[in-house]
Structure 1
Amino acid sequence: MNEKLQAEFEKATGYELTDDHIERNRLLLGIDVPNPDDEQIHTASIDNIRTFAFGCGNDNPLHCDPEYAAGTRWGSVIAPNMMAGSINKPLKGDPLDPEIKKQQKGVFRGIHVFISGGEWTFYRPIYPGDTIFSFKALESLEVQPSEFAGRKVNRITRVVKINQRSEIVGVYRYREILTERKTAVKKGKYLEIEPARYSDQDIARIDEIYANDRPRGADTWYFEDVKEGESLRPSVSGPLTVSDVITFHAGGYGWVPYGLRVGRLWHKNRQRIPAFYIKNESGIPDVAQRLHWDSQWARAIGNPIAYDYGVMRENYLYRYLSDLAGDDGWVYSTYDEIRKFNYIGDTQFIEGSVIGKRQEHGLHLVDVKVSMTNQRGEETVRCKATIALPCRSGSPVILPEAPDDLRRRAVSMWTRHCELTQRSKTG
């Protein structure tokens, strides 16, 4: 690391994970607040659905080919369900209690945050023309020891995604790990990992898996045909490149809350959140999250190489699961644990098996487990998921219903949004 970058690193790592910040953040527990995030995408369209899918390596014609999708049970292109996490128009609502809001100022400033996994439950498809809003609440916050960083905060946030009809599209619970940058660097247990290198034979092995990896499509997977314990077809994702990260952003991910900004917007964002910008080796204030494409900065933070966003692998898992489900199935829920970093150059080999099948609330459900293992033989992600399948009797998959209390909450939040929107129009 050169002297300029070293100086900026020392500034950036001066922030501490304090008990005061932890206790102030606890004040948010259980409070539903409208999500004001102004994402790059507010409303789904044929084009941005296709762009997002491609950014996740997903070429399923159900998402990408309007002519094909028109002949399916959905009658149209639909978004990959997990795209709900990247679509958001600000939801209007009553403000947070002023005293609680005041207590959040500066909380966890300069602290390193990464996603360690999440849980999705999907209730409705997203069609072109659907606008997505959301509200969220902090569900839990725990302090634990960390081998990587001394101690860490584990935080779970629940996000409820709704459409313009106040229908719940999906519910996302994501787990964050918060650590001090300086402590993580001192531990530095991953710093000896070497970048992956590939021979032509290695690439040929990966190509062979890709060549046999395709969506099930109209080849319906019936509930009666599923056997507990059966292995699912293998898949692969990678090798990971910086281009993959850029393409994922281009598909719509990562606009807020911090955001990547250019020109005048870069200037304005630096005034809003100065701690997020750390000078690079050329003296230019650049985003702290560049550790996802700048290996020199990643190493300064305590990792040997730049690495992916955990959300990228969650979307790769969804691609795998929706390919399995086929046009007539429905990926009902996913729960994943991100256990290792996925460094630039790493390849993720995907495999899974059926662990159970059951009937519940009129749904015919298949439970599967899926894992991602890198070229070093390390399991980097494990996932449990549930897929709803049709029956050979001709019964189509019905869509699941969200819990009654959550649906009532969604209607209440949407009603208030409409009231405030109308009030702003009338003055």
Structure 2
Amino acid sequence: MAEDGLIRNRITDESVDLMRRRIGYPNPTVRTGAIDDPWNMVATADAVRRFSICIGDDNPLFTKPEYAAGTRWGQVIAPPGFEKSMGINRSPVMDPVEAKETSKALRGIQLYHSGGENFYYTPIVEGTKLYRSRWVKKVEEKNSEFAGRSVIVSNGIQLWDESGTVAVDGIDWFVHTERGGGDKTRKKEPRPKEEPAFYSDEDLEEIEAAYDAEYVRGADTLYLEDVKIGQKLPRMVKGPLTITDLINIHMGAGWFLYGNWPNRLAYENRKKLRGFYNRDEFNAWDTIQRVHWDKDLAKKVGLPMMYDIGPMRQLYVSHYLTNYAGDDAWIHRIRFEFRRFNYMGDVTWLEGEITDVRDDAELGPLIEVSMTGTSQRGVENIRANATILVSSRTKGKPRLPTPPPLTPHRS
């Protein structure tokens, strides 16, 4: 352990094997803290409203009950991604001896959320209570362009309601790399220099003009017959990214997995998640989550600047899709990849294109959409694709897909 409390370990065959022994059970590097309750135990229209506003989305379908009452849903529904604030823990319980032996799998190795894929089956509405399970699905080694030896851990996730109906089924990918100061002898590929963002008044005027022109389909129904392969979708902008944006997402969705509670609760959290805390500039203990807003800590783990959290870009994609899809469509699938870091100050320009239009034998009328997000450096930081179930002038509004069975990986 380092003097500042930041654990710096090497990726070893043993540590990778420990993670493989966790397949079918929770990932010890992605675990809850002292408080295991979700941010939203039960969905409410007001919780959905707060979440939406805090991700920068004021779509009335999510924020105005009187408007939502006039849609096909008859009430406020949650946008894709809201489920990240929900889910009473029902993850599978590992044998205590095996759990202890494998608890240090990839401990002291920096973790980055690199993407995922989610399938959505039923609306989350007022009164919905969800249960959640997470488990390790796959452990793969690779050589990273910037970090040398790394490990990709695929984590399954499923959420279901009180009737046992699956609402969301998906997977998250996390990349584990050695923190700055790990293997000094390993030869690494040089990292392209990434200067902090800076904007002229003209740059900011372009961004503001894009905000003024942001497209929201709303009640203008998206019909299968009106779209074609190769059609471009409206451009959208997010940013410049600020720490205030980060505060907002946590206000709307909570702390997601770990929990970063204050005062005595932080002390209780540290008892359970010791490797998730290190000494700050005052020699006091604070969460490593601050790598997202603490420049010095970001540099200690090997990055030039603070950066966003994975859910932010996932929700950029969700917001882009719901703006385009409108009130009647159903976003069934979203696959998202975080290609490069999105640093504080960065802007992301989102663009999309329709890649398929068909009347699917199982799902009905649908379109497939491909998306990219590009920073002001011209570097792609998001890549995504999605399946949207749409209306048809001959078949009417889209029907909801049939949910899969409950996962066996649950308690």
Distance in 1 between residues matched to 2:400 and 2:317, nearest whole Å: 21
1:149 to 1:94, Cα distance in 2 relative to 1, 3 A: closer
1:311 to 1:394, Cα distance in 2 relative to 1, 3 A: same
CA deviation vs aligned residue, 1:218-245 (integer Å, no higher than 9, x gap): 0011011111111111001111000001
CA deviation vs aligned residue, 1:225-277 (integer Å, no higher than 9, x gap): 11111111100111100000111111124243x22110110111122222211
Distance in 2 between residues matched to 1:149 and 1:268, nearest whole Å: 33
Asked if 1 retains the 8 angstrom alpha-carbon contact of 2:89 and 2:133, the reply is no
**Hey, what does 1:27 align to over in structure 2?**
21
**Aligned-pair distance for 1:40?**
1.9
**Hey, what does 2:161 align to over in structure 1?**
163
Distance in 2 between residues matched to 1:38 and 1:254, nearest whole Å: 11
Alignment of 1:206-217 (within 5 A): 206-217=207-218
Asked if 1 retains the 8 angstrom alpha-carbon contact of 2:117 and 2:336, the reply is yes
Letter in 1 for 2:289: Q
Is residue 2:141 matched to residue 1:143?
Answer: yes
1:272 to 1:362, Cα distance in 2 relative to 1, 3 A: closer
Distance in 2 between residues matched to 1:261 and 1:215, nearest whole Å: 36
Distance in 1 between residues matched to 2:181 and 2:403, nearest whole Å: 41
What's the secondary structure of 1:355's corresponding residue? strand
Is residue 2:388 matched to residue 1:387?
Answer: yes
Alignment of 1:357-396 (within 5 A): 357-360=357-360, 361-393=362-394, 395-396=396-397
Distance in 1 between residues matched to 2:179 and 2:68, nearest whole Å: 47
**Aligned-pair distance for 1:205?**
0.2
Asked if 2 retains the 8 angstrom alpha-carbon contact of 1:117 and 1:175, the reply is yes
**Hey, what does 2:8 align to over in structure 1?**
14
Letter in 2 for 1:300: K
**Aligned-pair distance for 1:401?**
1.1
**Hey, what does 1:424 align to over in structure 2?**
none
Asked if 2 retains the 8 angstrom alpha-carbon contact of 1:158 and 1:173, the reply is yes
Distance in 2 between residues matched to 1:207 and 1:124, nearest whole Å: 35
**Hey, what does 1:100 align to over in structure 2?**
98
Distance in 2 between residues matched to 1:226 and 1:70, nearest whole Å: 28
Distance in 2 between residues matched to 1:147 and 1:261, nearest whole Å: 35
**Aligned-pair distance for 1:7?**
4.6
**Hey, what does 2:279 align to over in structure 1?**
279
**Hey, what does 1:327 align to over in structure 2?**
327
Letter in 2 for 1:212: A
CA deviation vs aligned residue, 1:298-345 (integer Å, no higher than 9, x gap): 122111110001211011100100111100001110111111000000
Task: Please identify, of 346-355 and 161-170, the stretch whose mean Cα deviation from structure 2 is larger.
Answer: 161-170
Task: Please identify, of 368-377 and 300-309, the stretch whose mean Cα deviation from structure 2 is larger.
Answer: 300-309
Distance in 2 between residues matched to 1:336 and 1:252, nearest whole Å: 19
RMSD: 2.2
Distance in 2 between residues matched to 1:94 and 1:121, nearest whole Å: 21
Asked if 1 retains the 8 angstrom alpha-carbon contact of 2:215 and 2:234, the reply is no
Letter in 2 for 1:23: D
Is residue 2:242 matched to residue 1:241?
Answer: yes
Percent identical across equivalent pairs?
36
CA deviation vs aligned residue, 1:161-218 (integer Å, no higher than 9, x gap): 1112211111121100001103579659558422111111111101111111132110
**Aligned-pair distance for 1:106?**
2.1
Distance in 1 between residues matched to 2:318 and 2:49, nearest whole Å: 15
Asked if 1 retains the 8 angstrom alpha-carbon contact of 2:8 and 2:181, the reply is no
Asked if 2 retains the 8 angstrom alpha-carbon contact of 1:123 and 1:399, the reply is yes
Uncovered stretches (5+) of structure 1, i.e. residues with no partner? 1-5, 418-427
**Hey, what does 1:3 align to over in structure 2?**
none
What's the secondary structure of 1:43's corresponding residue? coil
Asked if 1 retains the 8 angstrom alpha-carbon contact of 2:335 and 2:386, the reply is yes
Is residue 2:150 matched to residue 1:152?
Answer: yes
Distance in 2 between residues matched to 1:84 and 1:287, nearest whole Å: 24
Letter in 2 for 1:57: G
**How many positions carry a matched residue from both structures?**
400
Alignment of 1:194-273 (within 5 A): 194-256=195-257, 258-273=258-273
**Hey, what does 2:70 align to over in structure 1?**
71
Give TM-score, length-normalised by structure 2: 0.92
Distance in 2 between residues matched to 1:338 and 1:184, nearest whole Å: 24
**Aligned-pair distance for 1:364?**
0.8
1:238 to 1:94, Cα distance in 2 relative to 1, 3 A: closer
Letter in 2 for 1:270: R
1:87 to 1:188, Cα distance in 2 relative to 1, 3 A: farther
What's the secondary structure of 1:314's corresponding residue? helix
Q: Which has the higher helix share?
A: 1
**Aligned-pair distance for 1:23?**
0.8
Asked if 2 retains the 8 angstrom alpha-carbon contact of 1:160 and 1:171, the reply is yes
**Hey, what does 2:337 align to over in structure 1?**
337
Distance in 2 between residues matched to 1:242 and 1:137, nearest whole Å: 31
